[in-house]
Chains A and B, each alone.
Chain A
Amino acid sequence: MTTATAVNPEASSGITIGYSVGSVAEWLRRITVCIRGPRGTRGSGVIWRDGLIVTNAHVAVGKTHAIDFYDGTKARGQLLARDSETDLAAISVDVSGLPAAPIRSARELRAGEIVIAVGNPWDGEGAVSAGILHRAAGKQPVIFADIRLAPGNSGGPLADAHGNVVGINSAIFRGLGCAVTSDAVVKFLTEAGVLEAA
């Protein structure tokens, strides 16, 4: 699965912003999981490919985690790799047939492009927020967006208007949403040997 076409078949002119954001959000919810930590913490994660979930290091604080999928399926996730410097972690789940996130390089994004986040803040599972890219990606492995994020968004996807994942939401910095770039995720997974293994 590479695009969001399947869930947004009718997107065309004359359709409202609300409908369009709604259909991308609906797609993003399917690739977003809720991760429950050992101390009752709640964060989000992205199904990077079948059996592999990417989240923030500060969300994946234990060896195993309770994972809730969009369709209600529950599973235990095993920590595969964790890097607190980039704030990334990889978790494996013994579940197959999962929809995987289509990935776009964050370096391609232009300032002003629409970005959409889905996550699990305390007051809403699968909560969606929308904004724009604040500035184009620089040398750092993070991108900034003018978007309202909450702590439970951590580890969840930041996507473009197509529904392609461009980053993993990780922090709120001076009112701006901060996400680890998709490029940094690929680097992390490759260096951890997870991509080959999966």
Chain B
Amino acid sequence: MRGFLVDFSNELANAVERAGASVISVPEGGREGVSGTIWREGVAITAEHTIRGLDEVTVVLPSGETAKAVVAGRDHGTDIAVLKVPGAGPGAKLADETQARVGEIVLSVGRRKEEGLAATYGLISAIGGPWRTGQGARIDRWLRLDLNPFPGFSGGPVINAGGEVIGMATSGPRRTAATIPTSTVNRVVDQLLERGRIARGYFGVGIQPVVFPEGTARGLGMEGERGLLVVMVEPGGSAANAGVLLGDIVVRVDGAELAGMQSLQAVLDAEKIGQSVSVDLVRGGELLKLNVVVGERPEK
């Protein structure tokens, strides 16, 4: 019997099969193995948090063969690790994720060492603008999925019904699936292949958000009431060299008031490295201006 549902079912299975030709298994990743996506000829990506501390991993290719893959670069911020796997198979067909629509059907595809291809399906439930991860990395688009994450799905592709990749799947908060969109992956893969890591601006301070008592902020000429209390100053770091002291409260960077931790990371993008930025801080109840040269975050 032919019919709409049968055609639809075949289309989904075809999409999984097509995308699966570029999905690898990383058995050493995570607790029980994760997935990876062949992004370009000879280059695969996986979820960085699952292979921390490993310089080389064994992967299972779509052909079923195993191969050694060198970790060519890793970015904790976007959770992307780049693996060099010569002869792994064709690179995934990438979608322009800016064309993704709320309500569109998506599939999360993974590969397990023993069982082979695996998939779950769902919808794009919301699309938002750029956001920052807890580590301060900029992600170009928020793709919220209504989809059941399955064991080992991290590092595999999130695909549309046509089998094209809209992003890399990884674990989000509260056992959800987060998606690193294709455009962000492209950007990070380029930089990782070039430099092995992603450069991020760095002040060399530990901070904690604080709220000024009512009136104090206004007395200091601030619009908001929030600041960032310096709780650690790295010896020899940019902030230390500029004269920042423990207990200072940073209220503005580059003329913009800070609303929280992430707003500081937002002004520390890679292009600021080496530049001098003005920092307004409160010390002993008085406003003070300093110039800090943005450093580069050291490798962990």
Measured CB to CB, the residues of A under 8 A from B are: 3-5, 8, 11-17, 19-21, 24, 110-114, 131-136, 138, 144, 146, 160-162, 174-176
Q: List 11 A-B contacts (CB under 8 A).
A: A5-B1, A11-B4, A111-B17, A112-B13, A113-B13, A132-B107, A133-B13, A134-B150, A135-B115, A146-B119, A146-B148
Leading 10 A-B pairs by shortest Cβ distance? A11-B3, A112-B16, A20-B5, A114-B9, A161-B9, A146-B120, A112-B13, A110-B13, A135-B118, A112-B12
B5 contacts A17, CB within 8 Å?
Answer: yes
Closest to A131 in B: B121
Bound CA–CA A90/B186 (angstroms):
55
- Report chain B residues within 8 Å CB of A5: 1
Bound CA–CA A107/B5 (angstroms):
20
- Report chain B residues within 8 Å CB of A14: 4
Measured CB to CB, the residues of B under 8 A from A are: 1-10, 12-17, 20, 107, 112, 114-121, 148, 150-151
Q: Which of A3, A113, A136, A176 has the most CB of B within 10 A?
A: A113
Number of A-B contacts (CB under 8 A): 103
B4 contacts A146, CB within 8 Å?
Answer: no
Query: How far does the Cβ of A101 sit from chain B's closest Cβ, in whole Å?
Result: 15
In the complex with contacts A11-B3, A111-B13, A174-B151, A161-B117 CB distance below 8 A: no
- Report chain B residues within 8 Å CB of A110: 13, 16-17
A12 contacts B3, CB within 8 Å?
Answer: yes
Closest to A140 in B: B115
Chain A binding surface, main DSSP class: loop
- Report chain A residues within 8 Å CB of B3: 8, 11-12, 15, 20, 161
B150 contacts A3, CB within 8 Å?
Answer: no
Bound CA–CA A176/B121 (angstroms):
12
Query: How far does the Cβ of B116 sit from chain A's closest Cβ, in whole Å?
Result: 6
In the complex with contacts A114-B9, A138-B114, A132-B1 CB distance below 8 A: no
Q: Which of B1, B8, B17, B115 contacts A114 (CB 8 A)?
A: B8
A3 contacts B1, CB within 8 Å?
Answer: yes
B119 contacts A24, CB within 8 Å?
Answer: no
Closest to B111 in A: A135
Bound CA–CA A13/B120 (angstroms):
25
Query: How far does the Cβ of B205 sit from chain A's closest Cβ, in whole Å?
Result: 42
B115 contacts A113, CB within 8 Å?
Answer: no
Q: Which of B9, B114, B121 has the most CB of A within 10 A?
A: B9
A176 contacts B1, CB within 8 Å?
Answer: no
- Report chain A residues within 8 Å CB of B148: 146, 175-176
Bound CA–CA A126/B13 (angstroms):
27
Q: Which of B4, B118, B119 has the most CB of A within 10 A?
A: B4
- Report chain A residues within 8 Å CB of B121: 112, 131-132, 146
B13 contacts A11, CB within 8 Å?
Answer: no
In the complex with contacts A112-B17, A134-B119, A161-B8 CB distance below 8 A: yes
B150 contacts A176, CB within 8 Å?
Answer: yes
- Report chain A residues within 8 Å CB of B13: 110-113, 133
Query: How far does the Cβ of B187 sit from chain A's closest Cβ, in whole Å?
Result: 30
Q: Which of B9, B14, B114, B116 contacts A136 (CB 8 A)?
A: B116
Bound CA–CA A111/B151 (angstroms):
16
A132 contacts B12, CB within 8 Å?
Answer: yes
Bound CA–CA A103/B193 (angstroms):
51
Given contacts A113-B13, A133-B119, 6 further A-B contacts (CB under 8 A): A3-B1, A11-B3, A11-B6, A112-B121, A113-B9, A176-B150
- Report chain B residues within 8 Å CB of A134: 118-120, 150
Bound CA–CA A134/B153 (angstroms):
12
A17 contacts B119, CB within 8 Å?
Answer: no
Bound CA–CA A132/B107 (angstroms):
10
Q: Which of B5, B107, B116 has the most CB of A within 10 A?
A: B5
